[in-house]
């Protein structure tokens, strides 16, 4: 008994729950050396485990209890916490890259590295679950960091360096829920709590391939009874994990069939192969038999070739299609003669570069017991203990609305993580909006969102909480689902466009007119409640009749109506910045204005376009040209008769100021929208006269109103203009 000994470090209890046996190890670490206090090995009485998975939980739990009791008796203290490893029968791996911004350029501490690792594991889990098409649930059972990065550059150890960003390439490994559940249940039956769960190849590599060797491209093969687990190192890191579901039990089974013995006897014959030249045993008929090691090698040669061929293929797959430089073999299944030589042949490397590793790789391991076992079978059990110091992976159980669920514990588990694991609807956690309202305004789609409902009511152990509240093992979480808010509701009057106004000048007075709204072709007031898929148009014009009604003015039939100094009627459209005049007297228009109005009125009376419009338009232009020629001839006759004369020299000097002619009127040049326009035929000119000399169709609005600018400022229609003025006229965008 070692109960009188005082151990300087925290005791770590590791269990290697294998297909054929269970190995318990208790030890502690001081500095770089791990001290193994004691070990205990128990074989399963029956085949309670197959291919790394527990089949009979109660029998496995009982065997674990025996191992625990023996170790407790030896160390003189109870053992409650245990580290375990899972075999990779249905192993899945995901490689991710994560980056984390630090708060400024500061020193990296251990907490930052832990947070980065956790972020990588969570990202790997998210990616894995998004691609998991099977109905099985998987859990992360271990991870390893391939490479760290500091400010984008590869770095071996981040701690202590100053950095703005840190990153990592991480490999995370996943196993099905039933594998993990079986392990936890069996351990629980033995009265133990799991404090760390890792993968067997991760554990084995802690011992078999020290960091100083990981610069080399080496494969570690842990040949157990049910699975052969594989890990690959390169450039200082573990770069891949894998497995094949064939190992030592396949060899035992072929021996059992050949020798006609039960499984346990065949297992003993396998272990004695290579140790003795002749092996004695009793077959199922009760007859004593003897078999040589060479005969066993012949019997198992085919199985070894098949097994090593699959291991070789997996190694090449994980290593980018190439063989590794060397292979370390651990575990009992790889100790059979012929295994390492055949694997070397399959990989195409020298046979000396494939070797079973045991005591040779345990330089940093100190055994406190005399005659302690130090062969390759002990590599993984010790590695399980060492994994406790490298990473703490565990699962906790909590109750979510009375449902017991298991969560991967990264020391940052919150209510939202439990809700996701319980497959609680995301919508049930956050306030729901009422039904949205879809409609269009002036041809553009719009959405008015519904009101927010009430948030979920969350308690942890009866105390008020939220989705970010941390949770711990056995916490009671209750969530009352959030509610939906009211559906969206909006009146026409609440639209920002509806409140806008348009300004027009009526009899020299500026009037502001509220805009109308058309809904699905029908005029509606501001109190109209918008319905789903309504088509709303905010009208950008009034008719003269609507203007008069708004102003509460009665227009007599004898009155003359003018819009922008053009004859109009009650149905004429009035846009932004238009001028409207109604009077008993006829406005004093020029002869040309009157002539054009008469032609325009006759043009409006034509039927729908059947080709006549273009013909009539040509006739109008011809008549206007004829009218201009008549005026020109009259001017020439006046000059010949001496009614008015100017020298050519004077005419040239006055061109920039405008030329006054008694017959043709006053002539001037202005710039309209970047082009020079020549105005002739009048004694003086106002702004609206420009429309007669430019191509600007007032009858077909292309915006919400007309913008008129004179020398960089807003202009009035009846404002006088002069030679050299710069004018802008264009439609205002809707």
Q: Which range among 164-168, 549-553, 623-627 shows the weakest confidence by mean pLDDT?
A: 623-627
Rounded mean pLDDT, 653-658: 41
**Residue 511, domain member (yes or no):** yes
Could you tell me the two tokens for 525? 């007031």
- Exposure class string for 615-625: b at 16+ Cβ within 10 A, else e: eeeeebeeeee
Give 233-256 pLDDT, tens digit per residue.
Answer: 888 888 888 888 888 888 999 999
Under 8 Å between Cβ of 180 and 395: yes
Write the burial class of residue 707 (CB in 10 Å: 0-12 exposed, 13-18 middle, 19+ buried).
middle
Please give the Cα distance from 632 to 180 (Å, whole number): 106
Q: What is the pLDDT of residue 635?
A: 41
**Residues forming beta bridges with residue 731, ordered by sequence position:** 706
> Would you state the pLDDT for residue 130?
80
| Model pLDDT for residues 387-437, shown as the tens digit of each residue | 888 755 566 778 899 888 877 776 678 888 888 878 888 778 877 788 899
pLDDT of residue 41 exceeding 60? yes
DSSP class per residue in 663-732: TTEEEEEEEETTEEEEEEEESS-BGGGGGGGS---TTS--SSEEEEEETTEE--TT-B--TT-EEEEEEE
Q: How confident is the model at residue 613 (pLDDT cuts 50, 70, 90)?
A: very low
Residue 441 is assigned to a structural domain of this protein: yes
Can you name the residues that pair with 583 across neighbouring β-strands? 560
Name which residue leads in pLDDT, 38 or 523.
38
Alpha helices, DSSP H only, in 563-678? Answer: 591-604, 612-640, 648-653
pLDDT at residue number 730:
86
If you ran DSSP here, which 8-state letter would residue 48 be given?
A: -
Measure the N-to-C terminal CA separation of the chain; round to a whole number of Å: 94
> Which of these three, 480, 507, 538, is where a domain ends?
480
pLDDT confidence band for 641 (50 / 70 / 90): very low
Give percent above pLDDT 70 in the chain. 85
Q: State yes or no: pLDDT of 593 exceeds 90.
A: no
496 and 567 fall within a common domain: yes
Predicted local confidence at residue 292, as pLDDT: 92
Same domain for 615 and 564, yes or no, is no
142: exposed, middle or buried (Cβ count in 10 Å: 0-12, 13-18, 19+): buried
My answer on whether 583 and 503 are in the same domain is yes
Is there a single domain that holds both residue 679 and residue 728?
yes
Cα–Cα distance, 370 to 144 (Å, whole number):
34
Q: Give how far the C-alpha of residue 246 lies from the chain's centroid of Cα atoms, to the nearest Å.
A: 39
Same domain? 543 vs 475:
no
pLDDT at 620: 37
Cα distance between residue 464 and residue 458, in whole Å? 6
**Reduced to 3 states, what is the DSSP secondary structure of residue 646?**
coil
Mean pLDDT of 672-694: 84
The number of distinct structural domains making up the chain is: 4
State the residue range of the domain holding 719: 655-734
Mean pLDDT of 27-43: 89
- Sorting pLDDT into bands at 50, 70 and 90, what band is 630? very low
Residue 261 is encoded by which pair of tokens? 């013995």
CA distance 302 to 298: 8
Token duo for residue 581: 């005049």
The sign one gets for the Cα dihedral 565, 571, 575, 579 is positive
CA-based R_g, the chain, Å: 47
Show Cβ contacts of residue 719 under 8 Å, excluding neighbours closer than 6 positions. Answer: 686, 687, 710
Last residue of a domain, one of 480, 501, 518: 480
Q: Any residues with CB less than 8 A from the CB of 341 and at least 6 apart, and which?
A: 351, 354
| Tens of pLDDT, residues 706-726 | 888 888 888 887 788 888 888
Instruction: Answer yes or no: is 388 within a domain.
Output: no
Say whether both 517 and 568 belong to one domain.
yes
Q: Is residue 465 assigned to a domain?
A: yes
Is residue 665 very low, low, confident or very high in pLDDT (cuts 50, 70, 90)?
low
Q: For the chain, how are helix, strand and coil distributed in percent, rounded to 5?
A: 30, 35, 35
pLDDT at 691: 83
My answer on whether 442 and 469 are in the same domain is: yes
CATH of the domain at 509: 3.10.20.30
Query: Which one is predicted more confidently, 430 or 644?
Result: 430
pLDDT in tens, 318-357: 998 999 999 999 887 788 888 999 999 999 999 999 998 8
Last residue of a domain, one of 565, 588, 611: 588
User: Residues with Cβ < 8 Å from 507, sequence gap 6 or more?
Assistant: 580, 581, 582, 583
Instruction: Judge whether 383 lies within some domain.
Output: no
Do the domain assignments include residue 645?
no
Domain match, 549 and 566 both? yes
The CA distances from residue 206 to 12, 132, 393, 624, in Å, are: 15, 30, 16, 102
CATH number at residue 443: 3.10.20
Tell me, what's the pLDDT at 342? 93
**560 lies in the same domain as 520:** yes
Checking if the pLDDT of 316 tops 90, the result is yes
Decide if 304 is inside a domain. Answer: no
Question: How are beta strands 278-282 and 509-514 bridged, if at all?
Answer: unpaired
> What value does the mean pLDDT of the chain take?
80
In a domain, 247, yes or no: no
449 with 501, same domain: the answer is: no
pLDDT above 50 for 36: yes
What's the rounded mean pLDDT across residues 687-693?
Answer: 83
**Rounded Cα gap, residues 136 and 128, in angstroms:** 12
Q: Report in angstroms the alpha-carbon separations of 542 from 503, 514, 557.
A: 11, 10, 20
Residues in the chain: 734
Provide the b/e sequence for 112-132 (b: ≥16 CB within 10 Å): bbebbbbbbbbbbbeebeeee
What's the CA gap between 400 and 395, in Å, rounded?
Answer: 15
Residue 639 above 70 pLDDT?
no
Token pair 């039933």 in the structure block, residue: 178
Tell me how far apart the alpha carbons of residues 166 and 108 are, in angstroms, rounded to a whole number: 9
- What's the confidence (pLDDT) of residue 552? 86
Beta bridge partner(s), residue 404: 399
Instruction: Tell me the CA distances in angstroms from 421 to 117, 180, 424, 476, one per residue in order.
Output: 21, 15, 8, 15
583 and 595, same structural domain? no
What is the rounded average pLDDT of the residues 513-541?
85
- For residue 334, the Cα-to-chain-centroid distance in whole angstroms is 45
Same domain, 609 and 676: no
């Amino acid at each position: 008994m070692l109960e009188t000994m005082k151990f300087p470090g925290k005791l770590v209890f590791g269990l290697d729950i294998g297909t054929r046996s269970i190995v318990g190890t208790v030890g502690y670490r001081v500095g770089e050396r791990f001290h193994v206090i004691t070990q205990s090995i128990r074989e399963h009485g029956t085949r309670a485990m197959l291919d790394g998975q527990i089949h009979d939980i109660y029998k496995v739990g009982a065997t674990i209890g025996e191992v625990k009791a023996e170790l407790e008796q030896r160390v003189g203290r109870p053992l409650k916490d245990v580290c375990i490893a899972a075999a990779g029968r249905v192993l899945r791996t995901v490689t991710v890259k994560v980056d984390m911004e630090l708060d400024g350029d500061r020193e990296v501490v251990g907490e930052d590295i832990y947070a980065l690792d956790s972020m990588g594991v969570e990202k790997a889990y998210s990616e894995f679950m998004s691609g998991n098409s099977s109905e099985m649930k998987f859990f992360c059972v271990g991870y390893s960091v391939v490479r760290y990065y500091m400010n984008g550059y590869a770095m071996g150890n981040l701690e202590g360096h100053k950095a703005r960003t840190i990153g990592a390439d991480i490999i995370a490994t996943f196993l099905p829920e039933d594998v993990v559940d079986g392990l936890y249940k069996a351990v629980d039956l033995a009265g133990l709590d799991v404090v760390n769960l890792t993968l067997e190849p991760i554990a084995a590599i802690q011992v078999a391939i020290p960091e100083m060797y990981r610069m080399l491209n080496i494969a570690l093969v842990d040949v157990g009874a049910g699975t052969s687990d594989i890990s690959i190192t390169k450039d200082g890191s573990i770069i891949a994990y894998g497995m094949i579901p064939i190992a030592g039990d396949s060899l035992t089974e072929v021996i059992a069939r050949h020798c006609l013995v039960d499984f346990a006897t065949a297992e003993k014959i396998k272990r004695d192969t290579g140790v003795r030249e002749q092996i004695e045993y009793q077959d199922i008929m009760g007859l004593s038999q003897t078999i040589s090691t060479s005969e066993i090698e012949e019997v198992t040669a085919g199985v070894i070739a098949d097994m090593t061929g699959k291991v070789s293929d997996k190694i090449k797959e994980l290593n980018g299609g190439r063989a590794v430089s060397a292979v370390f073999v651990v575990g009992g299944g790889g100790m059979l003669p012929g295994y390492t030589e055949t694997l070397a042949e399959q990989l195409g490397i020298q046979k000396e570069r494939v070797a079973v590793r045991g005591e040779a790789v345990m330089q940093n391991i100190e055994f406190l017991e005399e005659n302690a076992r130090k062969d390759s079978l002990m590599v993984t059990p010790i590695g399980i203990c060492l994994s406790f110091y490298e990473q703490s992976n565990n699962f906790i159980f909590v109750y979510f609305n009375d449902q017991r669920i298991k969560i991967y514990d990264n020391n940052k588990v919150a209510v939202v993580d439990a809700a996701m694991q319980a497959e609680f609807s995301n919508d049930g956690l956050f306030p729901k909006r009422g039904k949205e309202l879809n409609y269009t305004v002036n041809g553009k789609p719009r959405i008015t969102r519904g009101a927010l409902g009430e948030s979920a009511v969350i308690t942890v152990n009866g105390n008020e909480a939220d989705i970010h509240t941390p949770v711990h093992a056995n916490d009671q979480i209750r969530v009352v689902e959030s509610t939906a808010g009211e559906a969206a509701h909006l009146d026409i009057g609440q639209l920002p466009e509806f409140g806008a106004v348009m300004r027009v000048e009526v009899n020299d007075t500026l009037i502001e007119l509220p805009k109308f709204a058309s809904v699905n072709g029908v005029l509606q007031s501001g109190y109209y409640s918008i319905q789903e898929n309504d088509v709303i148009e905010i009208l950008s014009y009034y008719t003269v009749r609507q203007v008069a009604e708004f102003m509460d003015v009665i227009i007599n039939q004898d009155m003359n109506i003018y819009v922008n100094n053009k004859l109009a009627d009650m149905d004429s459209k009035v846009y932004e910045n238009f001028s409207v005049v109604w009077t008993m007297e006829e406005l004093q228009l020029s002869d040309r204005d009157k002539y054009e109005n008469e032609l325009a009125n006759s043009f409006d009376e034509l039927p729908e376009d059947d080709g006549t419009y273009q013909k009539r338009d040509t006739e109008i232009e011809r008549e206007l040209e004829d009218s201009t020629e008549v005026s020109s001839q009259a001017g020439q006759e006046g000059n010949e008769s001496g009614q008015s004369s100017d020298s050519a020299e004077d005419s040239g000097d006055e061109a920039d100021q405008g030329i006054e002619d008694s017959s043709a009127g006053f002539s001037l040049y202005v710039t309209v929208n970047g082009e020079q326009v020549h105005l002739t035929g009048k004694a003086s000119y106002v702004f609206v006269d420009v429309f007669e000399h430019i191509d600007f169709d007032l009858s077909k609005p292309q915006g919400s109103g007309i913008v008129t600018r004179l020398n960089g400022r807003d202009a009035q229609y009846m404002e006088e203009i002069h030679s050299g003025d710069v004018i802008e006229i264009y439609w205002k965008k809707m």
